[in-house]
Structure 1
């Protein structure tokens, strides 16, 4: 590592940069100044190069070094969202149409299992109860008649055909009553007390789970069609992370890998572990990966919210640079490479060329970098002061 602080060291740095340039397999493009300046000019810049005067170079705390191998976590960067298991989310519907008579539900309200959600009324409810009561009366008569015919048959008094018809009528009535009873149970009407309590013109729907109301689609007086969703209730106790992992990264996945994730509305870091890996690739080229949340559930965790996650696939030696060596500009990442002094003389200034790099995981102050056609690990790179150079470059471009 070379630290450039004093003017007396500039000649040594210039000589080192010239050696690196000569040994590199990729020749650097000579600098082309956009405009002529005096020897005391602030700096000169091409599309990707900034030149500092000796005075400016002396004032900046610039250090150079090379990329090296570091033990960093090999990771996969993915997107996903929070979900709840199917048994923890309920859409409240009714198989028959009706009109909402009363409800007190609001989005976000906590409800408990068995709590009243909504009351509806409909002539269809009345008709079902009437048909059931009529059917039970008819069944009572046909049961008695069938028993009578069986007794006559044992005495060879009636014809076999008469007994068969009596049995068929009885079975038909019994099936009808059973069917009506099942229909009434769908709208929570207890047939065991129907005859005693009489026909009711309203039906009450109760919550089948504990949870929070996440959708309310009705109000008093709303006409509800059969199977329309009136409410949605979600129990977030067993929330999990669902990630979308693209097929190129599938071979690196396995059960129990650690996950770090953060929500779009919360910078807090949470942890999870993979417990299910999908077996079919979707149209977008990804598979769903379900992860069990190991961090405490917080109020920021809302089912359906999007998140960014990092999957730790192990530790390996990766080529890395200090974080301060990498600058971001225009949505891309860059490093600065020292070049030879302008015109071969240190008095005319010192140049730095900005090279694009691809970055990976950042850990313990180092960021993994991927080689490109312009960047290789044997280059001398500015590892401190890179943002100062970027600032000089941007300011000079604006002045021109």
Structure 2
């Protein structure tokens, strides 16, 4: 019995010791698991992910690449007279001086075409060459006239002296004078014809005569039509290229008879393509009303200048425009800037302008230094490409009161002067709301343990 009594405490002591050891190992394992869990949330200070963790529940961070991919743009509120507007239809047009047809002065074979449709060209740029024997003959005639001019000028001066000295008859002098003047007229005519072929008359000599001449772009712009190919013969005055300067596009709007008295020069308007293909609201100003009335459609043409436009506007595109003729101007934002949720209306204000995170700049400098010294920083470079370090913008969601919606613009109540001067997301703000919901409150979703 004594032996048993001695052994029991020993067993208990051993069991207690094993339990303590197991508890210690369990605590260590739990600590390691906690460390592993938190290890993924240790972001570089100043990086995009680190900044996201500091955002509050009404803020959202998007990279410039994200903004570009979903077409998020920023802008400021504007004073608009949206209470009364005249809705009109029209199209994008070019003034006659902003487009030009390129055709040969002398017909010939097209060679060396240097452009295709869609190419941007500058005024005076060579588009192609036209080759024909008549071009060579014209230069030959010019050189003959130049040589004849030198001879006739000398003979004219000689006969003039003889006439003064009464040695020669006046009829002889008059004949030489007529030949001299006729040749000078012929010389000027040939010179002008060479210039119409874009050939410099002063540069023509027996050594450099050519059977071809260049076709130049008469205006700066884009080539929107190429109507010939190399090797084909084109007659004189046949259009070979068409060049247009799209920077000068304007609006040609058809206003119905009943609305004409409401339209005045200087009125502001908003417009967008008729197909409404995701393009934001653009702006313009009424320039003038045409004095011609179309009796069939019962409309008159109104020309409007485009003051804010999209680079994708092309002549001929149909548009819908809203000419503002109300009296009171109110603060307004494009309809795409306002998001309705939970019975409220929200806009997204820019609270931090686009900039690159600090760590990205350091990594970029380090990468350049590695290239100079020959060291490999491939891991850092790959990390940047993954998108953690990139240029970003921070938006803040703000609840607003809205009013009248017209012409793609919605009235918003902005009593705070700072908000009136602030920048907002003016296109596809729905994407910001989705990004905010996806990231949770301030982007902390997944960080609660």
How does 1:216-227 map onto structure 2 within 5 Å? 216-227=226-237
Higher deviation after alignment, 107-116 or 209-218: 107-116
- CA 1:117/1:72 → structure 2, altered by over 3 Å: closer, same or farther? closer
Matched, 1:167 2:180: no
Q: Which residue of 1 aligns with 2:135?
A: 125
Q: Which residue of 1 aligns with 2:282?
A: 270
Q: Which residue of 1 aligns with 2:293?
A: 281
- Aligned 8 A contact 1:243 1:288 in 2: yes
SS in 1 for 2:128: strand
Matched, 1:260 2:273: no
- Aligned 8 A contact 1:89 1:233 in 2: yes
- CA 1:143/1:209 → structure 2, altered by over 3 Å: closer, same or farther? same
User: Please, what TM-score do these two structures have when normalized by structure 1?
Assistant: 0.58
- Aligned 8 A contact 2:82 2:405 in 1: no
Q: Pick from 302, 306, 323 the counterpart of residue 293 of structure 1.
A: 306
- More helix, by proportion: 2
Query: What is the rounded CA distance, in whole Å, between the counterparts of 2:257 and 2:238 in structure 1?
Result: 38
Query: What is the rounded CA distance, in whole Å, between the counterparts of 2:117 and 2:406 in structure 1?
Result: 46
Task: For residue 219 of structure 1, report the CA deviation from its aligned partner.
Answer: 0.8
SS in 1 for 2:325: strand
Poorly superposed stretches of 4+, deviation over 6 Å? none
- CA 1:153/1:286 → structure 2, altered by over 3 Å: closer, same or farther? farther
- CA 1:72/1:365 → structure 2, altered by over 3 Å: closer, same or farther? closer
Task: For residue 149 of structure 1, report the CA deviation from its aligned partner.
Answer: 1.0
Query: What is the rounded CA distance, in whole Å, between the counterparts of 2:117 and 2:143 in structure 1?
Result: 39
Query: What is the rounded CA distance, in whole Å, between the counterparts of 2:96 and 2:207 in structure 1?
Result: 37
Matched, 1:240 2:280: no
Query: What is the rounded CA distance, in whole Å, between the counterparts of 1:194 and 1:282 in structure 2?
Result: 54
- Give CA deviations for 1:295-354 in whole Å, capped at 9, x if unaligned: 1x32321122121212222259xxxxxxxxxxxxxxxxxxxxxxxxxxxxxxxxxxxxxx
Q: Which residue of 2 aligns with 1:75?
A: 85
- Structure 1: unaligned runs, 5 residues or longer: 1-70, 317-362, 368-400
Q: Which residue of 2 aligns with 1:324?
A: none
SS in 2 for 1:96: coil
How does 1:275-354 map onto structure 2 within 5 Å? 275-282=287-294, 284=296, 285-295=298-308, 297-314=309-326
- More strand, by proportion: 1
Q: Which residue of 2 aligns with 1:250?
A: 260
Matched, 1:146 2:156: yes
- CA 1:95/1:246 → structure 2, altered by over 3 Å: closer, same or farther? farther
Q: Which residue of 2 aligns with 1:333?
A: none
Work out the number of aligned pairs and report it.
Answer: 250
Task: For residue 366 of structure 1, report the CA deviation from its aligned partner.
Answer: 9.4
Root mean square deviation of aligned Cα = 2.3
Q: Which residue of 2 aligns with 1:364?
A: 404
- Structure 2: unaligned runs, 5 residues or longer: 1-80, 329-402, 408-449
Query: What is the rounded CA distance, in whole Å, between the counterparts of 1:283 and 1:159 in structure 2?
Result: 74
- CA 1:88/1:365 → structure 2, altered by over 3 Å: closer, same or farther? closer
